[in-house]
Homo-oligomer: A and B are copies of this chain.
Amino acid sequence: MENRLDRIKKQLHAQKYKLTPQREATVRVLLENEADHLSAEDVYLLVKEKAPEIGLATVYRTLELLTELKVVDKINFGDGVSRYDLRREGAEHFHHHLVCIECGAVDEIQEDLLEDVEKIVEERWRFKIKDHRLTFHGICHRCQDKKASEQKQA
């Protein structure tokens, strides 16, 4: 964990930004909640637990900065808010998401899976791909199981 924080610190320094206590607290929250997909408000509340003096605007500014540096990716699942997701280290591309329309859970797919598709798109549409967003909406395995056992009950 410390390693990743240090690495992020270096990324900031490389662009002449400082890792202030507020920024560090924000990054720590992101690292500690990597599996979640926190909104700015979510991050704010979590940071506030450890550093109560921080302002929401600072969180927004930090998240914007981290997005610029590609430390996090800003995503939108269609509810009204932006969410922030840490990039995995060494990940070439942004990972994909599975959004469950029953329970709202968001699972991640780290595998690329799009290599072939991207090759086709680059060739056939002559489009130079820099980034992508892929989200599937459907029913997660947990909700499928739950339904199946409910069927059995009846």
Contact = CB atoms under 8 A, between A and B. Distances in A.
Interface string A84-108: 0000000000000010010000010
A55 interface: no
Contact of A136 (B74, B116, B127, B139): B127
B125 A132 contact: no
Interface residues of A, number: 32
* Total identical chains: 2
A134 B132 contact: yes
Given A126-B144, A138-B129, A117 B113 contact: yes
Interface string A104-130: 000101000110111011000111111
A135 interface: yes
A128 B148 CA distance: 13
Interface string A62-87: 00000000000010101000000000
8 contacts: A107-B125, A107-B127, A126-B140, A127-B138, A130-B138, A132-B134, A134-B134, A134-B135
Given A113-B121, A117-B117, 16 more contacts: A76-B78, A98-B127, A101-B130, A107-B127, A109-B125, A116-B116, A118-B136, A121-B136, A126-B141, A128-B138, A129-B137, A130-B138, A131-B137, A132-B135, A133-B135, A133-B137
8 tightest CB-CB pairs across the interface, nearest first?
A126-B141, A128-B139, A131-B137, A129-B138, A130-B138, A76-B76, A133-B135, A128-B138
